[in-house]
Amino acid sequence: MKVAIIGQGYVGLTISSFAGEFFEVVGFDNNQKIVDQLNSGISHIEGVESSVLQKWIKAGRYIATTSGSDISDVGLVVIAVPTPLSKDRQPDLTYIDAACKAIGENVKNPVLVINESTSFPGTLRNYIKPAIEKYSKNPIEHLYAISPERVDPGRGDYNQKNTPRLYAGLTAEASERTRDFYSRFCDELVEVSSPEVAEAAKLFENTFRQVNIALVNEFAQITNALGLNVYETLDAANTKPYGFMKFTPSAGVGGHCIPVDPTYLATVAEEHGAPATFIRRANDVNLEMSKYVVDRVQADNGGSLQGKSVLVIGVAYKPNVADVRETAAELVIEHLRNRGAVVSWHDDVVGTWHGESSAPLSGAEIAVVITKHDAVSERDILASARYVFDTTGKVAGAKGL
Ligand SMILES: NC(=O)c1ccc[n+]([C@@H]2O[C@H](COP(=O)([O-])OP(=O)(O)OC[C@H]3O[C@@H](n4cnc5c(N)ncnc54)[C@H](O)[C@@H]3O)[C@@H](O)[C@H]2O)c1
């Protein structure tokens, strides 16, 4: 069977690399540069090996394309496009809409459409299905299902094969065909009673992390005020064998999921007249951490950052990936610059960002560690500036949360 995967980013390319073993995959992406790179056998996603891509290309089981006509004869379509927040921090379904347009205008036969993009409950039923029908020239009865993605880029222990996958179709046939598709490369499939349950579960998984991260970020401020070491205190709490799960503080949450998905849940909750107070407050606490970090750095440096050279170390949102979406480094740098600091950043995994290149890991008066990649040694970090503030808890000997 020929399968179209709409969006060849973290989620779509990962699925393509697994599906290529069993299906003929058409990776549809509207970014020509990414498509050209993929067709030359080079993966741009951590966790997807170029050698795997090359194997499928050679076997005639993978092609990337920007052309809608290449998906006209597929039997199954997976949607894996971004679901970010708009400028006013509202759910932004414009990418989903564009994907529905590509499907509606090009797919000629009835197919199974599976949505893997994260969105609020009701998106499949009330948004994706009507949108595809609206864009189709001839009425076609497609099948529709949801299977939220749980990939964690850069993670070694869990992948598509051993991470249980939720799914639900709008009809029993859609559910059955969804199970058939994923069971080729996923060990454990969990069917739920409706697409809305799967959509809500996905949002709650990430909201659980967001709220707990906010709690530990607040706790870090409390322990500091009390003169206690937050890491020692958390390790002590973590000796309890049940009823506790350890989260660690940070300069804020980054990435495409934790700072974004809870707002999808809060928005739909409020639209239905339900409270989302924890979610909204957690978001504020996490966003305010960047200011707290800069306040601490300023207080330790004579109360002023004016004219001081500050090196921000690690601008990716998490270790060992190049992804800078929603990174906490952005707000930290903004606060530092607003206070007159002369800021540069070091992150050779990211390389270039906002038109600036990664600076050498040396020569600053002050260094603030936001993300510590494995390739960057503690020794080099400590030697990079006369004062080092570490928000990761991984640089022994530095000042920190
Ligand atoms: N990255 C993760 O770890 C992760 C985990 C779980 C869920 N998700 C969710 O999966 C979805 C995709 O996220 P991602 O991280 O893969 O995003 P991404 O930005 O890495 O990739 C999306 C790709 O879609 C392409 N694209 C955008 N609009 C398109 C269109 N109309 N037609 C074709 N291609 C289009 C972009 O060029 C890009 O290559 C989001 O809803 C996200 O929340 C992501």
DSSP letters spanning 198-228: HHHHHHHHHHHHHHHHHHHHHHHHHHHHTT-
Which token pair is 24? 């003929």
Instruction: Tell whether the model's pLDDT for residue 154 goes beyond 80.
Output: no
Neighbouring-strand partners of residue 62: 25
Q: How far is the CA of 282 from the centre of ligand 1 (A)?
A: 25
Residue 318: CB atoms within 10 A of its CB come to 20
Residue 226's pLDDT band, with cuts at 50, 70 and 90, is very high
Residue 39: CB atoms within 10 A of its CB come to 15
Q: pLDDT tens, 278-292?
A: 999 999 999 999 999
Position in ligand 1 atom list of the atom nearest CA 151: 5
277-284 long-range Cβ contacts below 8 angstroms, 24+ apart: 278/211, 279/207, 279/210, 279/211, 281/214, 282/210, 282/211, 282/213, 282/214, 282/215, 283/210, 283/214, 283/259
347 pocket-lining for ligand 1 (C-beta < 6 Å): no
For residue 85, give the amino acid letter: L
Residue 155's pLDDT band, with cuts at 50, 70 and 90, is confident
Ligand 1 mutation pick, 28, 74, 149, 260, max ligand atoms within 8 A of CB: 149
Residue 246: CB atoms within 10 A of its CB come to 11
34 pocket-lining for ligand 1 (C-beta < 6 Å): yes
pTM beyond 0.75: yes
Contact residues for 264 (Cβ-Cβ < 8 A; gap 6+): 83, 91, 118, 119, 120, 203
Q: Which residue has the least CA distance to atom 25 on ligand 1?
A: 7
Active site residues per annotation: 257
257 pocket-lining for ligand 1 (C-beta < 6 Å): yes
pLDDT of residue 346: 98
Instruction: Tell whether the model's pLDDT for residue 139 goes beyond 90.
Output: no
What are the residue ranges of helices labelled H in 250-326? 261-271, 277-300
Q: What is the mean pLDDT of residues 22-37?
A: 98
Q: What is the mean pLDDT of residues 298-310?
A: 98
323 pocket-lining for ligand 1 (C-beta < 6 Å): no
For residue 151, give the amino acid letter: V
pLDDT of residue 156: 83
pLDDT of residue 329: 98
Position in ligand 1 atom list of the atom nearest CA 12: 16
The answer to whether 52 and 20 are in contact (CB under 8 A) is: yes
Neighbouring-strand partners of residue 6: 28, 79
Q: How far is the CA of 247 from the centre of ligand 1 (A)?
A: 26
Which token pair is 301? 């440096």
56 pocket-lining for ligand 1 (C-beta < 6 Å): no
What are the residue ranges of helices labelled H in 147-250? 172-183, 195-225, 230-237
322 pocket-lining for ligand 1 (C-beta < 6 Å): no
Q: What is the mean pLDDT of residues 177-185?
A: 97
Position in ligand 1 atom list of the atom nearest CA 118: 41
